[in-house]
Amino acid sequence: MKVIVNISLILLLLVIGSCVKKRDLNTNTLIVRISSSPAGLHPVNNSSANQSFVLTYTQQKLMSTSLATEKTEPHLITKLPDADNSGLLYTYQLIKGVQWDDKTPLTIDDIIFTLKISLCPLTNNPDTRPIYSSIIDSVYPDKEDENRFFMKVKTKHVLNDKIFLESIYIQQRDHWDKERILDHLFFKNIHAENFVSTPAIDDWFNDFNNSDNSYLPDRLVGLGPYQVTSFKKDNSITLVKKKNWWGADFEGQRFNNYPEKIIFKIIKDNTSVYLAIKNQEIDFSASAGGTSKLMKLQKLDYFNNNYRSDFVDRYSYSYLALNMRPNLDHNSPFFIDKKVRKAIAHLVPIQEIIDIIYYGKVERQASIVSPLKASCDTTLAFVELDIEKAKQLLTDAGWEDTDNDQIVDKVINGKKTPFSFKLTYPTGGGNSKEIVFMMKESMKKAGIELKSNPVDFNSFLKKAADHKFDAILGGWLSDSKYSDPTQLWGTESWSNKGSNYCGFGNSYSDSLIIKANTTLDPEQHLIAYKKLQKLIYDEQPYVFLWSGKLPMVAHKRFSNTEFYRAKPSISLGSFQLATGVQ
């Protein structure tokens, strides 16, 4: 009887297996892998790479960057803005025919509304607001032309003409503010040192910042060609092509929308990505299960028959950030001393990690600037692995193993403190677990205990912004243009819980940032920028690790799947379904 049962089970499994429906590769649905669920899709408040990737297809900006040429191009405007002789006033001309989903036209009122919510201190956007508020003074319409407006800036800035390239997605005033509450909010009040609000404005921003505006599809209105129809946290985000989208037949429009549906599938584990590609369950991934797994796939004929793939340069870098100004209620002051930070830099086996984990498919980076850019200070040498030098630096900083437990210690605030710190990093971060293990083994040789602390991505961002960490492992993605250092390195971006997680900076570093930002003379701008690079390099708030290469794959059932080094590295709207796919 037992044998019969086993045979029955085998037959049942075979029947079930034969009923598994294989994905129809002829459907015009593009399935895209992303590594983590965005904190939300709020068009102003949330901020992450995956969020920006999705919003590319649901929202629109006034201007864009050509992925092919890496040059700035007009998008919702007729041409790039003109500046007057003072360099403080820019003129923009909207193109005609742009419509919201309710068929009402894009107006200057929408532009003014968008800038108000981007600048107002009541908006929950601390990561990006310092960039906008340091530049934009006000926006106002041309009384003689309903499609022309002016932007007045506070000071000269090398990025003034490109400010709308940042995460300023144009919002519909009538969708968010039907009662015109923000008509009573003026730019001069927004910029006031002592901002004063009203109960009505407070209530409006409470509603605007509500988390529902990050998830509910009917709240996520935009000018883009796709509409969010489903947001399943940690599972998938579904976009459906809009019918009668304003840009579909627009002469000279720069955004394609060939797929009928785009599904962003959250797959955190690299092994799962690898299997999904083997089973043709996804059509595009900007991180194809990691370097080693793509190299393995590239040796298989069936993979090469079904997918195109490459390792693509990008403007990004990975870093180990050391908390220079920790919240002492939660973390110890391990990295206040520059000697200690330099010791840590000499203990990270960067080249070994590159060779073993990435098989040499990434490049070392020594500065805040990508080596792909001409503005990179190439005189900054890589900090090499040197255990003995690290030990000496630790000794000089007062760290010694006084109790022979193989961990150096030091009396801090009257208490003997072992050098045992937590390295926090997001789960689903590719090879992070292996990288952290290699760092741990190396630091052990100098008497430092590294404790691995993986957390989900949203918790990672919160710990970083609240400065509640010892050290974090992360990465930044930039693009081909000059990146304003304010967001990552300005002191204001530490105090307001922006992206200066480690607490770097003082009045001198802020002055270099200001000079680099406001000096329009190219030579003087570059001098200030390189001084800032050198200062950050010397202070070692980060251990700069490597500039990445994306292991990208795209299914051959689609054409027009070019890979680019400028973010977002791909144009999903350009994917055209090939005919007769098997």
Please give the single-letter amino acid code of residue 391.
Answer: K
Q: Which residues pair with 410 in a beta bridge?
A: 417
CA distances from 117 to 45, 77, 121, 581 (A): 10, 21, 8, 46
Specify the CATH superfamily of domain 234-314+550-577.
Periplasmic binding protein-like II (3.40.190.10)
pLDDT digits (tens, 9 = 90+) for 279-336: 999 999 988 877 888 999 999 999 999 999 999 998 889 999 999 998 777 778 999 9
Specify the pairing of strand 236-241 against strand 226-232.
Answer: antiparallel
Average pLDDT rounded to a whole number, residues 91-105? 95
Instruction: Name the DSSP class of 576.
Output: E
CB neighbours of residue 232 within 10 Å: 12
Please give the single-letter amino acid code of residue 15.
Answer: V
What is the sign, positive or negative, of the torsion defined by CA atoms of 76, 82, 86, 87? positive
Query: Omega before 568 cis (within 30°)?
Result: yes
Q: Check: pTM over 0.85? Answer yes or no.
A: no
89-93: strand order across its sheet: 82-83, 89-93, 145-153, 136-142
* Per-position DSSP letters for 378-399, written without gaps between them: TTSPPPPP-HHHHHHHHHHTT-
Q: Is the pLDDT of residue 4 over 70?
A: no
pLDDT digits (tens, 9 = 90+) for 464-513: 999 999 999 999 988 888 888 998 999 999 998 889 999 999 999 999 99
CA distances from 114 to 117, 405, 473, 535 (A): 5, 58, 34, 36
If one compares 477 and 222, the residue with the highest pLDDT of the two is: 222
Please state the domain extents for the chain: 59-219, 234-314+550-577, 316-547
pLDDT digits (tens, 9 = 90+) for 234-252: 999 999 999 989 988 776 5
**CATH placement of domain 316-547:** 3.10.105.10
Cα–Cα distance, 242 to 161 (Å, whole number): 31
Q: Which residues pair with 412 in a beta bridge?
A: 415
pLDDT digits (tens, 9 = 90+) for 138-188: 999 999 999 999 999 998 888 899 899 888 999 999 999 999 999 999 999
Confidence of residue 18 (pLDDT cuts 50, 70, 90): very low
Q: What percentage of residues in the chain have a pLDDT greater than 70?
A: 95
Q: How far is residue 52 CA from its own chain's centroid?
A: 7
Reading the block at residue 341, the tokens are 């930070």
Please give the single-letter amino acid code of residue 341.
Answer: R
Domain 59-219 of CATH type 3.30.420.40? no
